Structures are given as structure tokens and as C-alpha cells.
Structure 1
Amino acid sequence: MATAVATTPPSPKAGTGADAGRPRKPVLAGAAVVGAVLIAVPLALAGGAHDKDGGKPSTTVAAQGADTVLQPESAPAALDDYVAEKPTASPSKKKPVKSAAPVAAAPQPVPPAPRPSSSPSRSAKPKPKPKPKPAPKPNWSTETVSAVSVLEVNQAWTTNRIRMVMQTDGNLVVYNELDKPIWASMTFGQNHRAIFQSDGNLVIHNGDDRPIWASKTHGHEGAQLVLRADGKVVVVHNGQVIWST
């Protein structure tokens, strides 16, 4: 606050002209003191207000001291808007998350590859193979021998397919069209002969004229010895075969 200071009027003493217009030294000293007091009081008041607010700068003083206020009606910024985060000593390092190991899937059985169809497609039918022509059946002949008939050595009853021969070794043998033996009496000796007798029995006599082999078809008068087309030699009586090679 301002303090009133009384000034001493100049002495009525008469002086020189220079002293009458200049203030005296005591007056100047008092004016200096008054000016210092006027400057110190506002500063003291501002410092006291700063101490009471806890060291925070007064937003009101800053607003009054500003040269230009863009939005005087807006509220001043809150102090919390300018609070900075505390820096950390070192940047945080996040531990990498270990991913789970992939589980191997169980191997699936591989289906077998489809086998190619052996049957031809319906669209492409194979041409039928021409059937081989059957070989013509040979016209085999038949020979009938009536009783009494005799085969000497190297003689034979024959057809165009088979032959019954009395060999020199005494064996009565039947040969087929390929000249292969298909039946034999197995009688070996000299001067044998085969006789188809009137009783229907086929008998082989040796050189002494004794029977050594027989078809055992005796007792069938009128029987026949037949060389058939199927390669068989049979004794037939009344249409029935009673003996066969």
C-alpha cells in the first residue's frame, strides 16, 4: 500500500537564484525511498501469493499479463493435461510366445489304384473272331469177319483206319491210322496163327497147333468179328458186343 510522506516546504529564507528552483538533497532521498517502497510492495504481495499456492504458477496472472487472449471465455487448461509419464529405465521386452508345435496328422491309408477293367468298353466292341472251320470227319470204314477165318504170319484184317496183324514174333497186334499199336495179345513164338472159329471164339495157336490164347467167346454160333470205325475190334452176337480189344 502507498505511504504518505510529508515534504518540508522550502525555507522562506531568501537565497540565490540557483537554490530557489532546485530541490534540496533531503527531498530527493525521501522520494527515492518512497519509490523503492512502491516497487517492493507489489513484488512482496506476488511472492506471498505464490507461496500460498504451493509453488504453482498462477494462471490468473498469466492471463492478465498476456498480450492477446484468443478465447477469453474458455476455461484455462487443467494442469493434469500436462502431466508427463515417467520414463522407464529400459524399454520393455515382451517375451515371445512359444507357438505350440504342430501335431503331425496320422497318415491316411492310400486307397488302392483302380484296376483297369479287363472287359472292353461297350462302345468299342471287339470284332468276333471267325470260328475255325471244323475239320471234316474222315469217312472211316468198317470190316466184318465171318467164321471160319484164319490169319497166318504177316497177314492182317484191315480197314482204312485200323489193322489186326499176326506178326512173325507170334504176337497178334492192332495198329491205328498213325501206325501205332493200340492192342496186343502178348503171345510170342514161332509160326503162330489166329483163327476166328465158328463157335464165335477167337483163338491163337502156336507152331505145335495148340491154343495158347482165346477171347473166350465160344458157344456163340453165328457171331462176327468186326473192325469198327472207332478203332475197336469186337466180337458181336445178335447185335451185342461180347468181346472188345
Structure 2
Amino acid sequence: MRKRLSYLLVVAVFVSMLSLSGCGGGGGTTKSEANPYEGKWVAVVAEAMGVQLPIEECFEGDLSFELNSGGKVVFHADEETGNGKWAVADNKLTITIQGEEMVADVGENTFTFDDLMDMGLKVIFGKEGTDATNPENYLTEDELALIGDWHSETVEELLGDGPQTTMDGVDNINDALRLTFAKDYTVKVVYKGQEMGTFKWSLVYGLCNVESENPSVYVATNEDGSLNVDYSDDEDFLTFKCVKDDAK
């Protein structure tokens, strides 16, 4: 994905000295009026095949653009820069770089490209300095369902006798494993009362990937709202059923 985007931007540098014109930035304003579209716009979230992804998983480094007066735009991808023109009409933003057009829907401090550079990737940009650049505002319903505190309800050993409600090392099975999922895509893992660390997480088709190696944590969501959590470290390999602390 990024290879094509970067290539187009490199090519665009060579035409950056061309005289570019456009109606973008006009919008009926006068010189004394601020244009609401001018300024820096930053990529916040991306979506591919219906799955929302953190922007850093799709692109390396910064992905942003600056809309300037006179219909001029500067596009940034990591350390590469390209120049072009922009225009807004009928709630659509059109950016043109080296003959390539990108069209976005205009929202409240957002621009949404449904297919950025024909990469099959939906990308939302938020205006710098506004709350639209906060990734927490774009959490999906499934992601929001994970947010909060979870505790183990049963535990099952590998090649064991099935789910158990007791476990060596804890007085209460609820304290065997506790997970706290936060909106900033981090999860705190507490095993048998010991905090094991705080790790990044992402959710794809009901499977939650936790970026940890030791312990290793794999999470799957169940239709009843519970979680199946495979937990392993140097000594244990266990499967927990976890429920939310506030579950009724």
C-alpha cells in the first residue's frame, strides 16, 4: 500500500514548481475570514475489509496533508512530500497530485477517504488541534464492548479435566486472571495478583491480538459476551473464561 503512495508523492515533488490553480480554499470567504478547511489534517484511523486498524499498522511514520490558501496542498508520507491542489464542493474534498485524484467526504473536522489512492483502504483524517484527531472517538461497537475490567470465572488446563472454578495460588478464581482494556488500545494483565504488564491490543473479527510474548495472551470473544483467554508463560498454559466485572 505504502509503496504506491510513496511513489506518487516522490513523483509529485518534481512537479511541485508548476503553477497550480484551484477553487479550493475559496468557499465564499474574504481575505479577512478564516477558511475552515485550511490547516493540517492528520490520519487518525484506517479500515480495510470492514476491519478498523490503528493508523500505525498501515503506514510508517506521519501521514498528513496541509491545505493552504490559493488551493495548494502539501501531502506528507513519512519523510516524503508531494505538492498539488485542492478544492471543496458539495461536501466533497478533491486533492489532485500528479494527475491522481483523491476524493473525501467532508465531516465535522474530518475528511474521510473511502478508497485512498485505490489501495482498498478507508482512511479518516482529523483536523489538527481538534478532538477529531483522538483515535478513541472512532472505536467500533465491538471494541467498546471490550473496554473495562474483566475477571476469570473458570480455568482449564491443557489436557485437563475441563473447566474448573478453583486454582492453586488464589483463594478466589476471580483473582486468577484480571484484564483491564483501555480506550487507548492498551490492556493491563494481572495474573494471580501479580501485574504482568500493560500491552497494546487490536481486535479483528472477534479475535483480540495482545502484543505480548511472555506471558503470551490470546483473546477470543464469545457470543454470550464472555472472553476465552489463552494464557501461557514459562510455567503455565491455561485457558480462562473471563466475564466483565459489571456483567449481570
TM-score by length of 1: 0.18
Larger radius of gyration: 1
Between 1 and 2, higher relative CO (CA 8 Å, sep ≥ 6) is seen in 2
TM, length-normalised to structure 2: 0.17
